[in-house]
Amino acid sequence: MIGPVSFVHDQRPVRVVFGAGRIGALADECDHLELTRVLLIATRYSTAAQTLLGDRVVATVTDPRAHVPVDQVHETLDLVGRSGADGVVAVGGGSSVGLAKAVALGTGVPILAVPTTYSGSEMTRVWGRTEGGRKQTGRDLRVAPRTVIYDPDLVAGLPTVTAAASAINAVAHAAEALYAPDRTALSDLAAAEAIRVVTATLARALDPTALLRGAYLAGVVLDQTTMGLHHKLCHVLGGAFDLPHASTHSVVLPHVLAYNLGDPAVAERFAAAGAHDLPAVVRRLGSGHGVPTSLRELGLSASSLDEVMNTVLAVPPVNPRPVRADAVRGVLWGAFSGVHV
């Protein structure tokens, strides 16, 4: 039996507006959420968003930092308090959306998200913030964006390496959703389609519409299911060593998948989804687009591997195969060196 035989599918409401040029509906979508005074968190598209939103913008943050550092969260919460913002519009990658979520967690104000990468954060109720080299995450419905505008025109300008790494980040969500303990009939469908569309698109010219559609589906399953060893490793690496999020996913994913595909049930499920050779496919697509292939290249030192392993083992994730020291060491060493066994 490949599909889940028993599950709970908890579908939260979210309005998704998808299509080229849809950023033009930004003000209307704010009206829909009854937002009259917004904090705008945006980097590259800050001026364009400000023009579309006009007087509605009462405060701006143009430099959201990676992994949501807690000092920036405090500064932004002060800004919200002083400006009386009644909502947040985040236009950017996972760093912009992440800061918006920290604001929503602290204040309860709604978020309208316009993602410009394939990170998937805009679809989830998962928040994160980093303090003292530790990334803390949690789930809270208040941080889930109420409306998401996906406009492929905004991701079209991503440099190829950034786009490919971010798209593989999306594949990582879908792949781990396929073996999540809380997978559902719908999450399986969405995950398989996300893997199919993203890997097929990465093998050709990088069509932003197709990649964004896959990233949206991958974001949906990231929200609905519990991630395993892969996400745990990336979370620890990102929080403690400030490694680039998407490239870290791209490097680590083939190694974790190779390990987890050693479980016959997982192998059967991936084969049914047309993804029996996903580790090799991810490796080939990543390196083909110039994405780094080892943690060493990303700047990690070998002396840090034990710390990463111990942090993972301290609170081991749910995973289809055992998360024991020998397995984690093997996966980490492979990811560090870029050598596949």
Q: Which residues bind ligand NAD (CB under 6 A)?
A: 43-44, 66-67, 92-96, 98, 116-117, 119-121, 124, 126, 128, 154-155, 157-158, 162, 166, 222, 238, 245-246
Shortest distance, position 152 Cβ to ligand NAD, whole Å: 10
Supply the minimum distance, in Å, between the C-beta of residue 278 and ligand NAD. 19
Using DSSP, state whether 184 is helix, strand or coil: coil
Q: What's the one-letter identity of residue 56? A: R
195 closest CA partner among 114, 123, 258, 271: 271
- Give the type of residue at 257: L
- Closer residue to ligand NAD, CB minimum distance, 116 or 187: 116
| Beta pairing, strands 111-115 & 87-92 | parallel
Between 62 and 83, CB nearer to ligand NAD: 62
Residue 138 or 322: which CB sits closer to ligand NAD?
138
| Phi, then psi, of 255 in degrees rounded to 5 | -70, -45
SS3 state at 60: strand
Q: Minimum CB separation from ligand NAD for residue 179, in Å?
A: 18
- Residue by residue, DSSP assigns 141-175 as GGGS-SEEEE-HHHHTTS-HHHHHHHHHHHHHHHH
Pick between residue 98 and residue 110 the one whose CB is nearest to ligand NAD.
98
For ligand NAD, which is the closer residue by CB, 236 or 327?
A: 236
Nearer to ligand NAD, 24 or 262 (CB): 24
Query: Are the C-beta atoms of residues 74 and 98 closer than 8 Å to each other?
Result: no
Closest residue to ligand NAD, Cβ-based? 94
Measured distance CA(116)–CA(125) in Å, rounded? 18
Distance CA 126, CA 143 (A): 7
- Residue 55, both tokens: 């007087």
Residue closer to ligand NAD (CB basis): 94 or 334: 94
CA 253 to chain centre: 13
Minimum CB separation from ligand NAD for residue 150, in Å?
A: 12
Least distance to ligand NAD, CB of residue 157, Å? 4
Query: How far apart are CB 2 and ligand NAD at their closest, in Å?
Result: 27
Residue bearing tokens 């609170």: 315
Which residue lies nearer to ligand NAD by CB, 32 or 44?
Answer: 44
Which of 2, 55, 49 lies closest to 22 in space, CA to CA? 49
Q: Based on CB atoms, which residue is closest to ligand NAD, 116 or 261?
A: 116
For residue 118, the minimal CB distance to ligand NAD (Å) is 7
In angstroms, the CA 295 to CA 57 distance is 40
47 exposed, middle or buried (CB, 10 Å; 0-12, 13-18, 19+)? exposed
State the nearest-atom distance from the C-beta of 201 to ligand NAD, in Å: 16
Output the smallest distance, CB 250 to ligand NAD, in A.
10
Q: Where does the chain have alpha helices with state H?
A: 26-32, 46-53, 70-83, 94-107, 152-155, 160-178, 185-202, 208-224, 229-241, 245-260, 264-272, 278-288, 305-314, 325-337
